[in-house]
Amino acid sequence: MDGRQQDWWSIGEQAPQGPLHALRRRFVSVPMPLFLQVVVPMTLVFLLGFVFEYRARVGAEEARLVTQETSVIQRGVHRVERELAIASADLHFVADLVGDIFDDDSTGRVAALERSLLAFARRRPGYFQLRFIGATGREVLRIEQAADGPRLTPADELQDKRDRSYFTGTIRLQPGDLFVSPMELNVEHGAIEEPYKPVVRLATPVEDAAGRLRGVVVLNVRGGQFLRGFERSADDAGIQRMIVNSEGYWLRHRPDVEWGFALEHRRSFARTFPEVWEEFQAAPQGRAESDDGLFYFDTVQTRGQTAGREVDAPGVNYWMFISVIPRELLDDVAVRIATPLLVTAIPFYIAVLALGWFVGSALQRRRLADEALRNLEQVRGAMMNAALEAIIVMNEEGFALEFNPAAQRIFGYTLEEARGRLVADLIIPPSYRETHRKSLEHYLATGEGRIIDKHVDNLTGIRKSGEEFPVELTVCPIMVAGTRFFYGFLRDLSESGRRAVQADPPGSPAAVPGGAL
């Protein structure tokens, strides 16, 4: 065979070999619509899982911060309540001492009281003033904390306090009642003391043994001992903690915004965070959230109390302890949580994309296989229609399944007439049908057949008209999905058969009994 003939018979170039080629054959190219059809649902599930995990972790961290701040604030509240309870007990103790002198107002008795109160003040440095104000509003006795310890104020330095709110608010009360003032800056001789001295005044009426009102006892408690208790729990992570009064003014925060009710700047929490402040008015404890951050608060009631009723201090009823987790800190928490999640999620999502590609590749292979099968069926149909030989397909029971145009022309049956009938009744003379039946049973039982996979040219066939004629036959068994089929290829060796093929090629309308296929 010369080179030209070799080129004609050659199907194409030699197929490439190697692992890369094998990989390309296994993973076919995936069309983008199919890839998206597979990957988009997987991506949505992945994103839902990521968002759920992210929100769960952020929620857990926010809950931890809120729990931490709840604990800090509650400790501050309990400390203030404890300090107020101690100061109240001390006030009533002093009131009892003062009340005793009216039963015996001798000089010695008064001197003994002064010594007792000086000793008391020495043990209670948190009270920077202790005074007894007579019923007319004039100070009768005042003890002040000095650098070298408590001192008794000389008579010529005593002041008239009849117009001060803590006197007017207390003188109306019954003995045993307690007045608690708002926390404010101490004022002496009509001016705010500098440096500022936050003060809370506790006061109670004093009467003699006859039940006559003699005046009021006042303790000036350093506000710093309430405020510092909260400051000592401060956080370095950016969390802001503050104390405001019931009018929304800062008692403790940044120095430039504190004491707005007494100073000219008039700055307040209520004006700075109006929506949050409005939410705070609904309950004595809780939380609120705004664009500025997460707020948690608790309150300390500072109204005076007696056994059967409450006594309101004019204008102020409580202090509010507030913790603010700034939005910047919450955003930092979100970023800190999202970063490792993304580091983990990116390779995982790449794996999702790879899995989507593999699944898409498998689906594409299945589609290509189905398409190839459909094309193969079309090719098979075209081959059966164009074949010069009769092609008959038979199942294991011997029934005809396919009867191509050449078989229809040779034996005279249409496809509708032949399909579903025994092949032996269609093409085998009666004298040979029993032999055919036994041979088929023998082959099915043993796998051995005299004419299977062999070319036999000395057989006799029969047409629909009853005419017998010589044929040559080849039978090929094929297993499909566990079922055996037999393909029979027959050629009409008679003279009339050769003339018919020449006159009416297979596939033409005249070659098919009953008309065109």
Q: What is the pLDDT of residues 379-435, one digit of tens each?
A: 777 888 888 889 999 999 999 999 999 999 999 999 999 999 999 999 999 999 998
294 vs 189, higher pLDDT:
294
**Quick one: pLDDT at residue 372?**
75
Query: Which of 459, 480, 472 lies closest to 380 in space, CA to CA?
Result: 480
Per-residue pLDDT, 309: 41
Instruction: Please report which confidence band the pLDDT of residue 190 belongs to, taking 50, 70 and 90 as the band edges.
Output: confident
Nearest-CA neighbor of 330 among 293, 290, 365? 293
**Domain spans, the chain:** 59-332, 387-511
pLDDT band at 358 (very low <50, low <70, confident <90, very high): confident
Percent of the chain's residues with pLDDT above 70: 85
CB-based contact 264:192 (threshold 8 Å): no
Residue 112: per-residue pLDDT:
87
Query: Would you say residue 231 has pLDDT above 80?
Result: no
pLDDT band at 313 (very low <50, low <70, confident <90, very high): very low
Q: Are 38 and 199 in contact (CB under 8 A)?
A: no
Residue 276, class by beta-carbon neighbours within 10 Å (0-12 exposed, 13-18 middle, 19+ buried)? Answer: buried
- Work out the pLDDT band at 226, boundaries 50, 70, 90: confident
Phi first, then psi: give them for residue 450, nearest 5 degrees: -70, -30
How much is the pLDDT for 503? 64
Backbone angles phi, psi at 123, to 5 degrees: -85, -10
Helix or strand (DSSP H, E) at 149: strand 149-152
Provide the CATH number for the domain formed by 59-332 in this structure. Answer: 3.30.450.20
Tokens of 194: 């500098």
| Residue-wise pLDDT tens digits, 448-464 | 887 888 888 888 999 99
Give the tens place of pLDDT for each residue, 360-387: 878 877 887 788 777 777 877 788 888 8
C-alpha 308, offset from chain centre: 52
Alpha helices per DSSP H over 206-326:
224-231, 269-272, 274-280
* Predicted local confidence at residue 28, as pLDDT: 59
**Average of per-residue pLDDT values in the chain:** 83
258 has a pLDDT exceeding 50: yes
pLDDT for res 307: 37
pLDDT category of residue 486 using cuts at 50, 70 and 90: very high
Mean pLDDT of 76-90: 89
Q: What is the value of pTM for the model shown? A: 0.60
102-136 core/surface letters (b: 16 or more CB in 10 A; e: else)? beeeeeeeeeebeeebeebbeebebbbbbbbbbbe
User: Higher confidence at residue 228 or residue 200?
Assistant: 200
Highest-confidence segment of 30-34, 214-218, 303-307, 311-315: 214-218
- Cβ neighbours of residue 293 closer than 8 Å, sequence gap 6 or more: 324, 325, 326, 327, 328, 329, 330
**Residue 41 identity:** P
Report helix angle 327-386 to 32-100, nearest 10: 160
pLDDT at 236: 58
Digit-coded pLDDT (tens) for 279-292: 999 988 999 999 99
pLDDT at 14 over 80: no
Reported as type and span, the H/E element at residue 56 is helix 32-100
Query: In which band, very low, low, confident or very high, does the pLDDT at 219 lie, cut at 50, 70 and 90?
Result: very high
The yes-or-no verdict on residue 249 having pLDDT over 90 is yes
DSSP state of 312: P
CA distance 416 to 70: 89
Residues 6+ apart with CB under 8 A from 48: none
Give the span between the Cα atoms of 280 and 358, in whole angstroms.
Answer: 57
Closest C-alpha among 390, 414, 409, 398 to residue 488 = 390
Q: How confident is the model at residue 505 (pLDDT cuts 50, 70, 90)?
A: low
Question: Residues near 361 by Cβ (< 8 Å), separated by ≥ 6?
Answer: 26, 27, 28, 30
Instruction: Identify the pLDDT of residue 302.
Output: 73
Of residues 354 and 502, the one with the higher pLDDT is 354
User: Which residue has better confidence, 506 or 169?
Assistant: 169
Contact 161, 215 (CB under 8 A): no
pLDDT at residue number 424: 92
Model confidence pLDDT, tens digit, residues 27-57 = 557 788 877 888 888 888 888 988 999 899 9
The tokens for 196 are 């500022």
Alpha-helix residue ranges (DSSP H) falling in 387-459:
405-411, 415-418, 423-427, 430-446
59-332 shares its CATH topology with 387-511? yes
The rounded distance, in Å, linking the Cα atoms of 349 and 358 is 14
Angle at 514 between CA 512 and CA 517, to 5 degrees: 55
Q: Between residues 312 and 155, which one has the greater pLDDT?
A: 155
Radius of gyration for the chain, computed over Cα atoms and rounded to the nearest angstrom: 54
Whole-angstrom Cα distance, residue 424 to residue 193? 127
- Please calculate the CA angle 357-358-361 and round it to the nearest 5 degrees: 85
User: Residue 220 carries which DSSP code?
Assistant: E
Which range is most confident: 71-75, 167-171, 476-480? 167-171
Residue-wise pLDDT tens digits, 115-159: 999 999 999 998 989 999 999 999 999 999 998 999 999 999 999
- Total residues belonging to the chain: 517
Average pLDDT over residues 149-172: 92
**pLDDT band of 510, cuts 50, 70, 90:** very low
The DSSP result for 99-135, as a single string, is HHTTT---HHHHHHHHHHHHHHHHH-TTEEEEEEEET
Name the CATH superfamily housing domain 387-511. Answer: PAS domain (3.30.450.20)
Helices 32-100 and 107-123: crossing angle in degrees, nearest 10, is 160
Report, as an integer, the average pLDDT of 229-241. Answer: 65
pLDDT for position 161:
92
Tell me the sheet residues that pair with 288.
295
**Residue found under tokens 């229809």:** 408
